[in-house]
Structure 1
């Protein structure tokens, strides 16, 4: 009994010591001065997982009015801090990779793109590979690509009859994969291997599911098909590269640019790297361009004011240049450009952009509140939400291309990073000029050659897709016409 009493007294003494130490530390040691963002109310352990999976935009719509432009969502052991609006997102776009990194958050792309490229290499190598993209998209290259885009559009729409009904979404998806094959993947693929390569890319595409973001190597059928497709594509491109090198043939396409690219130390690209870079280029551009082309058409066909404006622009250009369409003529199409840009503001295909924070940083809201974002947080912004902020864009849910016209320019009035459909800053989309030229080339042909009428309801957003696009069919009635030019 005496021994038990000693143990009890010792235990009480230890507890009392801990309590006193806590009280002293609370009084003497200052509390953390970090001004942490408010947190979204969520369940223990799983945090806001269910709300996030239901749809991040729904969660943002609910929490932004309550918590403001900076807030944190707990997901298991991770914390995602959202920065919404240009006032707080400058650091997101401008910070160096050493502070805010893409690599960790986009690892799920590695099985699709393959080893040794983009997010499977350190930042210095990735920067060199992005330089290869930049060189492949210089104006002198783009001029050649435009000629190919125009040819593909003419060939594709020549197969339409004098009148009929089509699913515009389906037609544009197919035309853009043809155009991408010609400009990016090369003549060999477009002329001889299109069906094979298209099917393999379909398997790659279907192998990138929401669950792939969390578990990219999960042994499920879609991932197995993805891996087999990636292997077969490597074999096809290895054969094409070997053939081009042995015959000395050179083509005006992105494939050739990647074959000819060299790192700063003089090392040429490998066959595996060329294949991975091509896959990354196609993934970056194919879906986004077909989705934006479809939304552009749906809005134009439902807004006679803007349809009349783009038609008038086409007539004026035909008066100046005849039927010719090239890079420089497409560059003159300011009205069509604004119509595409507005469709892209309302429906950016990438609704979330992510970074991993490697250092603490602070932001200040437009109300003057400062928050400290700790190292280790995932930092996010949302083009789909930020592009509709009412203090930046007047009537943000309405389709109004004139908001970008000289004199209004709502996207510039609030400063940099007000319009982020193509990202911005250090990681802005390299393919933006290519995308606009491609969409302009397609719609120039459609506007000049067809009367078009939307016969299905205005399309809804497909929030379930990895790249958020158009839900269901977009049925359009067409009739061929000759566009009369005012002389």
Structure 2
């Protein structure tokens, strides 16, 4: 190390005047990189590094589209490779063969907290990624309680009511932007089931507007500098304060009057921490509600829209299957629609699952490395991922690996059906539409119930036809959905039982 530094310093003596300071900075940075490199070599063979511009690393390629960067890294180095982005090193683990540790490692080894700090200004202090792991686990227990099956049964009733009312206002025929319409409906169902009756009935417009401001305040720059005093962040902070006041008023009123509802808000009001034993505070309840809505609202409306466009695209090859399934359900149960009936819709479930394979809303999942760990790639080569790296995997890329899925770019719900089950052929993490392992999405059942409710009602009451060209994914968004308008033409009909 001393020899390396001496050689670099010797070169500085040949650099005149004003360039000296810049050269000195470069020496320091190179020295740090050499130290990191030597430390990595002492611990084992480091993953191959994707060649990028010195110092700023892969940031320009990230800006051009992370999937392009992942594709380049995968084609050059295989399923394990590292990208330098400024002072950070991101090691990608792509595919089920190398993802086991990513999804199953203990929090002391790989954690979420460091990489999701950008969410703290939105969710608030004292919740989720602003607390240590033990408190976060208690809060996740509260989330799980708000989503247990007894509550989901009531939630589905609310979803059915909201969807029937919403689509009842459509005319006999017409044209709508499906993405815009389903986004409106999802925020209504989420408001009723998660935020509470008071919000849905008395202050829906106010609260939905405030959430929209929060949403606009979560930008790509927010990941790097979440508190940068730009206008979008300042508006976000103000909206967060107003939401706190709204929910504090509702919470206080419920406590004062003894009114109880079977919604997520009530579950958080009733929740208690175990150690030490104490109730949740008003600020914590507000933060948990915001986190719950952010976790589900975008992803469900995006997936609902993609579902419609895939089912009605081209030859509509798979649309008859979901229609016939609805006819069979109608013949068995009549027009009734509840939690148990939705569970019987296997083909619609597979169609939604296939949409999430092709168009997962989250491009990348991240963890921070606290302890060195080894990983063996598909070629049998072992690498050591060092402490301090960020590890990443990509549902978008992993779901289109040709050795895992056949005809990867085709929409084919049958790939998950009996006799094929392509998502299981290469292990537990071949399909990661809802994450997996220790941090699998707790809202998976809620999401399927919500999307299946919406599409059951649409399929039973309307014939649809895509008007807009099939959309491209909007890769510039934090949560990736269809880009541009998603217009469909509809005509009201009454589906008859089979």
Is the structural similarity TM-score above 0.5?
Answer: yes
Instruction: Indicate the structure (1 or 2) with the bigger Cα radius of gyration.
Output: 1
What is the CA-CA distance between 1:367 and the residue it aligns to? 1.8
1:34: Cα distance to partner?
Answer: 1.1
TM-score by length of 1: 0.93
Provide the residue aligned with 2:400 in structure 1. 388
* Offset, 1:33: 5.5
* Alpha-carbon distance between aligned partners in 2 of 1:41 and 1:342, rounded to the nearest angstrom: 34
Q: 1:280 aligns with which of 291, 296, 302?
A: 291
After superposition, give the CA deviation of every residue in 1:289-320 in whole Å (9 maximum; x if it has no partner): 00000000000001522100000000000000
Q: Deviations over 1:242-283 (max 9, x none)?
A: 000000010011000000001113200000000000000000
In structure 2, distance between residues paired with 1:328 and 1:402: 23
- Aligned partner of 1:248 in structure 2 is 258
Residue-by-residue CA offset, 1:159-202 (whole Å, 9 max, x unaligned): 10000001101000000000000000000000000000011001
Is 2:250 aligned against 1:236? Answer: no
Shift of 1:369: 1.1
Q: CA RMSD in A?
A: 1.3
Instruction: Spell out, residue by residue over 1:36-73, the C-alpha distance to the aligned partner (whole angstroms, 9 max, x if none).
Output: 11101011111111001111101111221111000000
Deviation digits for residues 70-124 of structure 1, max 9, x if unmatched? 0000111110000000111110000011100101100000000001000000000
1:297 counterpart residue number: 308
In structure 2, how many angstroms separate the alpha carbons of the residues matched to 1:65 and 1:297? 33
Q: CA deviation at 1:135?
A: 0.8
Matched, 1:345 2:357: yes
Measure how far apart 1:485 and its partner are: 1.6
Tell me if 1:103 matches 2:113.
Answer: yes
1:148-167 maps to which residues of 2 (within 5 A)? 148-167=158-177
Q: Secondary structure at the match of 1:328?
A: helix
What is the alpha-carbon distance in structure 1 between the residues aligned to residue 292 and residue 489 of structure 2?
33
Aligned to 1:192: 202
Structure 2's unaligned 5+ residue stretches are 1-5, 11-40
Name the SS for the 1:356 alignment partner.
strand
- 2:61 paired residue number: 51
Aligned match of 2:486: 474
User: Counterparts of 2:86 and 2:168 in 1: how far apart (Å)?
Assistant: 54
Q: 1:266 aligns with which of 240, 255, 277?
A: 277
Following superposition, the deviation at residue 351 of structure 1 comes to: 0.6
The total of aligned residue pairs comes to 459
**Counterparts in 2 of 1:30-109, with a 5 A limit?**
32=42, 34-109=44-119
Q: Give 3-state SS (helix, strand or coil) of 2:99's partner.
A: helix
Runs of 4+ with deviation above 2 angstroms:
none
Query: In the alignment, which residue of structure 2 is the partner of 1:143?
Result: 153
Alignment of 1:159-178 (within 5 A): 159-178=169-188
**Corresponding residue for 1:7?**
none
Identify which of 364, 371, 390 aligns with 2:383. Answer: 371
CA distance in 1, matches of 2:288, 2:218: 17
